[in-house]
Amino acid sequence: MSNTTYTPPKIWTWREENGGRFADINRPIAGPTYQNELPIGKHPIQIYSQGTPNGVKVTILMEELLAAGFEGAEYDAWLVRINGEQFSSGFVKVNPNSKIPAILDMTTKKPTRVFETGAILLYLAEKFGAFVPMDVSKRAECLSWLFWQMGSAPYLGGGFGHFYAYAPEKYEYPINRYAMEVKRQLDVLDRNLADRRFLTGDDYTIADIATYSWYGQMVVAGFYDAKEFLQVNSYTNVLRWGTEIHNRSPVRRGRKVNRDSKSGIAERHDASDFDKLGV
């Protein structure tokens, strides 16, 4: 462990080097940095996002709703690159926290904005009456796992991912601290899934969609080149559960949306947009 110590000053001040690799997109204040209105398409739901683990939660749910026959779930997905585009005046109107994803429901008298992925998933599930149980006990279990994911993923992404993969230098203490917590969370999931097909039992819900987007993708596809480091294959129940979800057709489509690459689509306005990808 490094012997280098840091003594915090009496008053913290922002310097560009504080942000490291992400200095251009992180800052200690809120609000827009430039004027730009968001585009609005023809469909009931407008999504503003990028295909990150948080972003794909919403597009996966939308594709699941369409596959289940909900025609009202047609949507336009607009790419908001988290290289500073999330600080536009238009996006800040939809999400004052300047984080993707955010949505507008155009079917209400005044368009309804929803931000934070847990809120978006619950809003859409309740709007369409799908992927969230109505039974009181089952609903409580579903929401418990949904909010567990919301509280846990920052350790995997903002904590472990940052210090293991993105920090300008490797420091043993934070990597050990966050690796321990991520492995504990994987063990929580593995134990719960030992006798359950999905997180809440036999039913596939928004809790599975939210948690798969981080932990399922982590064990199946890998994040941060850390599969061996974290021994993710040892969590056999998580791997079985994650693989089943990973192979669902709506999930394969949802994971491709708002990805500005040859393997994805930057925007989605119609099912035919996936034709070039064969998904």
Query: Pick from 106, 128, 8: which is nearest to 61 by CA?
Result: 128
User: For the CA atoms of 267, 54, 133, 129, what is the dihedral angle to 10 degrees?
Assistant: -20
The confidence score (pLDDT) of residue 19 equals: 61
Fold (topology level) of 136-247: Glutathione S-transferase Yfyf (Class Pi); Chain A, domain 2 (1.20.1050)
DSSP string, the chain: ---------SS----GGGGGGGTTT--S--S-SB--PPP--SSSEEEEE-SSHHHHHHHHHHHHHHHTT-GGG-EEEEE--TTTGGGBHHHHHH-TT--S-EEEETTSSSPEEEESHHHHHHHHHHHHT-SS--SHHHHHHHHHHHHHHHHHHHIIIIIIIIIIIISSS--HHHHHHHHHHHHHHHHHHHHHGGG-SBTTBSS--HHHHHHIIIIIHHHHT-STT-HHHHTGGG-HHHHHHHHHHHTSHHHHHHTTBT--STTSBS-BSSGGGGGGGT-
Beta-sheet pairing, 45-49 with 75-79:
parallel
- Cβ(146)–Cβ(210) under 8 Å? yes
The confidence score (pLDDT) of residue 23 equals: 62
Q: How many CB atoms lie within 10 A of CB 195?
A: 8
- Cβ(25)–Cβ(83) under 8 Å? yes
| Domain boundaries of the chain, sorted by first residue | 1-131+249-279, 136-247
Q: What is the pLDDT along the chain (279 residues), one digit of tens a residue?
A: 455 788 999 999 887 666 666 666 778 889 999 999 999 999 999 999 999 999 999 999 999 999 999 999 999 999 999 999 999 999 999 999 999 999 999 999 999 999 999 999 999 999 999 999 999 999 999 999 999 999 999 999 989 999 999 988 899 999 999 999 999 999 999 999 999 999 999 999 999 999 999 999 999 999 999 999 999 999 999 999 999 999 999 999 999 999 999 899 999 999 999 998 888
Which CATH number is associated with domain 1-131+249-279?
3.40.30.10
The confidence score (pLDDT) of residue 1 equals: 47
Sheet architecture: strand order including 45-49 = 75-79, 45-49, 102-105, 112-115
The confidence score (pLDDT) of residue 26 equals: 78
- Tell me the whole-structure pTM to 2 decimals: 0.95
The confidence score (pLDDT) of residue 240 equals: 98
